[in-house]
Amino acid sequence: MTARIPRELLFGNPEKASPKISPDGRHWAYLAPDEGVLNIWAGPEGGPAKPLTADRGRGIRQFLWAEDQRSLLYVQDKDGDENWHLYQTELAGGATRDLTPVPGAQAQIVATEPRFPDELLVALNDRDPRAHDVYRVSLKDGSRRLEATNPGDIIGWLADLDFKIGAAKAIRPDGGSILRLRQGEGWRDFLSCGPDDQIGAHGFAPDRKNIYIESSLDRDTAALLEMSLDGKSVKTLAEDEDSDLAGALVHPRDYHVEAAAFEADRVRWQVLDPSLAADFKAFESLDGDVTIVSRDDADAVWYLLVNRPDRSPSFWRWDREARKAKFLFAARPKLDGYDLAPMTPVSFAARDGLKVRAYLTVPVGRPARGLPLVVLVHGGPWVRDRWGFQPEAQWLADLGFACLQVNYRGSTGFGKRFLHAGDREWGAKMQDDLTDAVKWAVASGAADPKRVAIYGGSYGGYAALAGAAFTPGLYRCAVDVVGPSNLITLIRSIPPYWEPMKRVFDLRVGDVDKEPEFLQSRSPLFHADRIEIPLLIAQGANDPRVKVAESEQIVSVLRAKGKPVEYLLFPDEGHGFAKPANRLKFYAAAEEFLSRHLAS
């Protein structure tokens, strides 16, 4: 089909998403709209489902089955403030209660365990907004008791095989990390690294003598290791020279590690448990990158996500005994009536020789020659772009634009040298990588140098502002979504529970207390007089990460100088736009803006 893709099909709610099988395998649940809002639907496994929850706000985006087999759990905030509350909804009847009814606090699910079906471990920063303690919460009556107190530097918790807090990850004063193991009523340091390395824990081994560790110590890319609890032995289970460990598949009940994922251009699995080898081999016939998203206690049924760029994400039921896949549903099945664009992994050498990976999406049926180009910059910045279905890339290609998604230095997943090549390089070498990506696209013939835009959210929004301010003449227009304009006010207004990470910001961005002039030099706000191109800026009023002032201060300065800027403020959104009506309003404005300024 050659007709334009309606924006509603790309940016409205999915028809269904996130299927999860109940622990006993008798029921399933998934997200689907009810009265236009994403809610949990549940029913007999594989059969008809009905709405279980009745959210009428931003919609539910994260949920899981409780181990009691009688209820489901989900988190929800208020208008994007990220003060997540944890709710329990009964499978029979849909009665719902707030398990963490503490105003202003943020709940995080730590663990569930089938041997303790009526309990769960929850982290909550009710005592101190800067630190999440762990509570044992009863699913019978909602009561909770303190399980572990955060001394102030812990950013993550891990349950042991007895469903007690057995390990924690903390941030050192120098910005490095420490893994601690529980020892009696106290803790002992188990593994430590400086700020240039990455460590983490994926679970305790079934023998109770070892722990599965992610580590970049003595190597560039993070590997999956098995370490003895006494620290005397280390075994490398999986590693890849091109990419960091992207995930570990752990058996849901006996907790041995089964496979490890790595991702340079696309996801690749290393199977560690031979009993899964035939399953993963059979996944190749599903024609996409495969992720296991849910499995029952008996490990007889898996739900799979099959993801590729030119098709709606689809979910499948995998019968382990028969090793056969049965289609469950596509998230956006109406897209099947349209031709979607392929996404091609590409790479280029930055000006200092560093290899930079990216993804190029071009309009269907058109050669990659002389196209208007949109550089779509991911947020974070300490995350990465991935191969697969990307609504914005499809939208841009459908408008006739090439879309280039760049994993600039500072992106995660490509080893510690690549990550830390971005330290203190906001607006500098990180921005140079985006400039060099444009030059590569022009030199390859794909892009028209006179019709290039930069667009992104969060850090990507910062990069859009920086592109306008620091590289005049390169871009024709820029779109900034919830992007910081002033690195000083950004860092000084971080959420309180990010306080343990403050030293990481000092090292990777700049020290706001010791070098404000440096941060000012990298802040687009202070270089607004150099901005000549049109800007579209969009912001959520309740954003706890990038406060509304980050957008409003640069809008005010630009308007005072008579610069062309359009501004959209969404009063019921936070760090991004969750409500479909708001998303559609934004993308309609962005489409008109880009089409107007990238016209030939």
The CA distance from 588 to 600, in Å, is 20
Alpha carbons 282 and 272: distance in angstroms, whole number: 16
- 153 close to 171: Cβ distance less than 8 angstroms: yes
Candidates 420, 413, 422, 514; CA nearest to 459 is: 422
Spell 191-222 as b/e; 16+ CB within 10 A means b.
Answer: bebebebbbbbbbbbeeeebbbbbbbbeeebb
**What φ, ψ does residue 443 adopt, rounded to 5°?**
-65, -35
**Active-site annotation holder among 215, 458, 485, 523:** 458
Q: Do residues 226 and 218 lie in contact, with contact meaning Cβ atoms separated by under 8 Å?
A: no
Q: Which long-range contacts (CB under 8 A, 24 or more apart) does 561-565 make?
A: 561/528, 561/529, 563/528, 563/531, 563/532, 563/535, 564/533, 564/534, 564/535, 565/534, 565/535, 565/536, 565/537
- SS3 call for 578: coil
Partners of 30 in the β-ladder: 41
458 catalytically annotated: yes
Six token digits for residue 599: 């016209």
Residues in Cβ contact with 232 at an 8 Å cutoff, skipping those fewer than 6 apart: none
3-state SS track over 373-432 = EEEEECCCCCCCCCCCCCHHHHHHHHCCCEEEEEECCCCCCCCHHHHHCCCCCCCCHHHH
Residue type, 503: R
Q: Is 485 a catalytic residue?
A: no
- The residue behind tokens 């009523």 is 185
Query: 437 near 348, Cβ under 8 Å?
Result: yes
Q: What is the DSSP string of 85-128?
A: EEEEEETTT--EEES---TT--EEEEE--TTSTTEEEEEEEEEE
The whole-angstrom distance between residue 597's C-alpha and the CA centroid of its chain comes to 30
Among residues 202, 527, 575, 597, which one is catalytic?
575
Residue pair 125/132 in contact by the 8 Å Cβ criterion: yes
Tell me if 166 sits within 8 A of 149, measured CB to CB.
no
Cis amide linkage into residue 6, ω under 30° from 0: no
CA atoms within 13 A of residue 571's CA, in its CB half-sphere? 0
Copy the structure tokens of residue 65: 């089955």
Q: Could you confirm whether 543 is annotated as catalytic?
A: yes
Catalytic one of 216, 543, 551, 597: 543
> Distance (Å, rounded) from C-alpha 63 to C-alpha 68?
15
Residue 212 structure tokens: 């599965």
> Could you give the C-alpha distances from 587 to 436, 526, 567, 568, in angstroms and in order?
27, 28, 13, 11
Q: Look up tokens 């893994």; give the residue.
A: 179
- Which amino acid is residue 28, in one-letter code? W
Which residues are designated catalytic? Answer: 458, 543, 575
